[in-house]
Amino acid sequence: MRKFNSILVANRGEIAVRVMRTAKSLGYRTVAVYSEADAGAPHVAMADEAVLIGPAPVGQSYLDMTRILKAAEETGAEAIHPGYGFLSENAEFARACEKAGLVFIGPTSEAIDLMGNKAAAKRRMIEAGVPCVPGYEDKDQSDEAFISASEKIGFPIMVKAAAGGGGRGMRLVHAAKDLPAALSSAKSEALNAFGSDELILEKAIIEPRHVELQVFADSHGNVIHLGERDCSVQRRHQKVVEEAPCPVMTEELRGKMGAAAIEAARSIGYRGAGTVEFLLDAAGNFYFLEMNTRLQVEHPVTELVTGLDLVALQLKIANDDPLGMTQEDVRLSGHAIEVRLYAEDPAQDFLPCTGRITNWIPAEGDDVRFDAGIVEGQEISPFYDPMIAKVIAYGESREVARHRLIEALKRTVLFGLTTNRGFLIDILAKEKFADGGATTAFIGEEFTEGDLADAVPDAPSMAMAAVLQYRIERDRTLANTVFVTEGLLDWSNGGALITHYAYQAGDEKVDVAVSPQRDGSYLVAAGEAELSVEVLSQGASTALIRVDGRRHHVQFAAPSDSLLEFAESGKALRFTNLIALAASAEAGPAGGRITAPMHGTIIEVFVSEGDQVEPGTRLAVLEAMKMQHDIIAEVPGVVQLVAAVKAAQVAVDALLFEIETAAE
């Protein structure tokens, strides 16, 4: 008999959905918890029961142990799966679960505690004979101790927060003279972020690969590994692309790394799913980095190459069942690559973006998997991690997987907010990545600021956008008429009526004129260019359009008559018809309406009504997604209205200021 039959998933988004999928398939009753911001989220809809645990901020919901345990009690849940992030590596929570008589689906609180402290973990690994990066992880936190240690280790050196993760409290130091300053800033950042200012030093391995081993240990002493994942493609220490196997892996190296990973787990009496992260240098040396005591974001690539369900294995172990397999039973076949789709803007230094997902149609295809926790119409709020989905492709070879993934990304329809989709496609298409040569330095080396800048639309894109805007508004109108047959559309006995659109293309405003022709095509003048556009087929969000003889598969969404979201080959463009906007903008105080660019909190207001402002004057600061954004005046004039209030929460597009421009 099973120890538990109902599972509360103390998480949200794709991972909550992922865990529940397996749990349900194995006959478990599932309980979701959710914040006020997530009432309409898919994980809530999917669960057998769902409990509201508080307002949107994580501290009052997904990180609030008391509320989660209360939810478990109320719903009679017998086990808790923490997912990743949030409380997944919180030893206190694991203990609290045990105390409440709940099965915590994860390792023991001792293991979490141990691996949660980088310094302690490293000391244990050195004891266990697991190769570690030369470094310093002593209790003596004096500058003198760090300086003398650094001389032994040799530069460059990485300063890290002992309790840290996610790149915070981390500093790369190239020379001894820079060390004191790095120590002091890392300490204060670590204290802020993790509540502890303990630091460690590590020799910086330049341009290593990030290779991690998936391990599983049951409560009967069995420990196995499921091969490795290469997560070298990172941006600011955040993984972007993960794959299995590692492109430069050999059987011999895998054997060595696997043995080290198993030893790492065994030496601390580990139980459950864990990931042992290593740095792998060009010479094939590997060093223990840290151990993650939870299911990883990137676990699907391992599932695809092993054919195993990692969540099912977790549940088995949590039930105290033996793994039921040995190392020899683990077979790796084929190749899997995962990308993390984020709501963020690569052109704005990857600033997280909020918005409503208006269109979401994952591209179905052979061996393509979407792990997503979103639905159409869902609001992506600033309260949680901006990752909205993972796209994973499998192939018998790495090249097949890579191309499947590129195609899946291109064919997926996703509108409503800015994402890193185009950036992901660019990564996958880079020669260096295709060759399997990407290290942790890959993104920094391969992408310039120009590569990440917003694309300037070309004439064919503008022509297609204008024709789509024209037809969408036409068809919307048609639905409101009493009696007009389709055969009469695009026609006048008085000659073609030419409809104009105005788009911003870089610094230029381009006039795009759509003129329907007798043969059903459109003659489009886009700036200097003249193009013939034929719409071969048009669905709700995809179209096949021929422009001057060349066929384009495009995707689109038209949330309003003035805005067209457009994507071709996964590259998104936003077309705002300035003509449709002109009048309404001018109706207000001459272009002086300043609205919130995203959800957030106003943390400072600098101007009052009646103040004179110039273009560039800072009006306020909006904090969102842990980042501060200046609200800037774009026109000169006098502040007529201050709607922004310090410390107030504002929604995207909320009016903050009105500026009346000086009379001409």
Partner 1 sequence: MTAFASKIVSSSDAFATNRAEMLALVGELHTLKDRARALSERRRPRFEERGQLTPRERLIRLLDPGMPFLELYGLANFCVDTTDREKSIPGASLLAGIGFIKGVRCMICASDSGINAGAMTQRTGEKMRFCQDMALDKKLPFVHLVESAGANLLQYQVESWARGGGGFQRLAKLSAAGIPTLVVLHGPSTAGGAYFPGMSDYVIGIKGRGRASLGGAALVRAATGEISDEEELAGSEMHATKTGLVEYLAEDDAHGLLVAREVIGRLDWNKNCPRPHLKVFKEPLYDPEEIAGVVPVDYRRPYDVREVVARLVDGSEFEDFKPGYGSTLVCLQASIYGHAVGIVGNNGPIDPDGAAKGGQFFQLCDQADIPLVFLNNITGYMVGKEYEQKGMIKHGSKMIQAVSNVRVPKLTLYIGASFGAGNYGMGGYAYEPDFLFAWPNAKTGVMGGEQAALTMDQVARSGAERKGQPVDEEALAKQKERLINHFDSQADAFYTSGRLLDHGVIDPRDSRKVLGFALQTCWEARNRKLQPNSFGVGRL
The Cα–Cα gap between 488 and 215 comes to 66
Q: Residue 200's closest CA among 237, 166, 173, 163? A: 163
> Judged by CB under 8 A, which stretch of 23-31, 136-144, 174-182, 580-588 contacts partner 1?
580-588
Min CB(562)–partner 1 separation in Å: 11
Min CB(567)–partner 1 separation in Å: 23
473 touches partner 1 (CB under 8 A): yes
**Cβ-based nearer residue to partner 1, 138 or 561:** 561
The Cα–Cα gap between 568 and 461 comes to 9
Min CB(587)–partner 1 separation in Å: 6
Using CA atoms, how far residue 264 sits from 125, 128, 306, in Å, is: 6, 7, 22
CB 635 within 8 A of CB 590: yes
582 touches partner 1 (CB under 8 A): yes
**Cβ-based nearer residue to partner 1, 228 or 490:** 490
Q: Residue 390's closest CA among 329, 443, 341? A: 341
499 touches partner 1 (CB under 8 A): yes
x-or-dash string of contact with partner 1, 511-540, rule CB under 8 A: ---x-x-x----------------------
Among 137, 198, 290, 490, binds partner 1 (CB under 8 A): 490
Residues 6+ apart with CB under 8 A from 438: 232, 233, 241, 430, 432
Min CB(481)–partner 1 separation in Å: 5
Min CB(575)–partner 1 separation in Å: 15
**Cβ-based nearer residue to partner 1, 14 or 658:** 658
Question: How far does CA 649 lie from the centroid of its chain?
Answer: 24
* Strand-pair category, 542-547 with 550-557: antiparallel
| Helix extents (H) in 537-647 | 578-587
At 108 the three-state DSSP class reads coil
Among 288, 350, 470, 566, binds partner 1 (CB under 8 A): 470
Q: What is the DSSP string of 293-329?
A: -S--TTHHHHHHHH---HHHHHHHHHTT------GGG
Min CB(511)–partner 1 separation in Å: 12
492 touches partner 1 (CB under 8 A): yes
**Cβ-based nearer residue to partner 1, 35 or 499:** 499
Contacts with partner 1: how many residues (CB under 8 A)? 37
> Judged by CB under 8 A, which stretch of 48-56, 388-396, 578-586, 606-614 contacts partner 1?
578-586
Among 45, 175, 453, 484, binds partner 1 (CB under 8 A): 484
Q: Residue 28's closest CA among 78, 64, 67? A: 78
Residues 587 to 616: which contact partner 1 by CB under 8 A? 587
Using CA atoms, how far residue 2 sits from 26, 222, 589, in Å, is: 11, 20, 68
Peptide bond into 516 cis (omega under 30): no
Min CB(528)–partner 1 separation in Å: 19
The Cα–Cα gap between 369 and 21 comes to 14
Among 175, 282, 453, 498, binds partner 1 (CB under 8 A): 498
Min CB(489)–partner 1 separation in Å: 5
Question: DSSP assignment, residue 105?
Answer: S
Among 326, 448, 450, 483, binds partner 1 (CB under 8 A): 483
Q: How many CA atoms within 13 Å lie on the side-chain side of 261?
A: 32
Among 586, 609, 630, 653, binds partner 1 (CB under 8 A): 586
The Cα–Cα gap between 431 and 381 comes to 35
Among 181, 441, 455, 478, binds partner 1 (CB under 8 A): 478
| Residues making contact with partner 1 (CB under 8 A) | 470-471, 473-475, 477-485, 487-495, 497-500, 514, 516, 518, 579-580, 582-584, 586-587
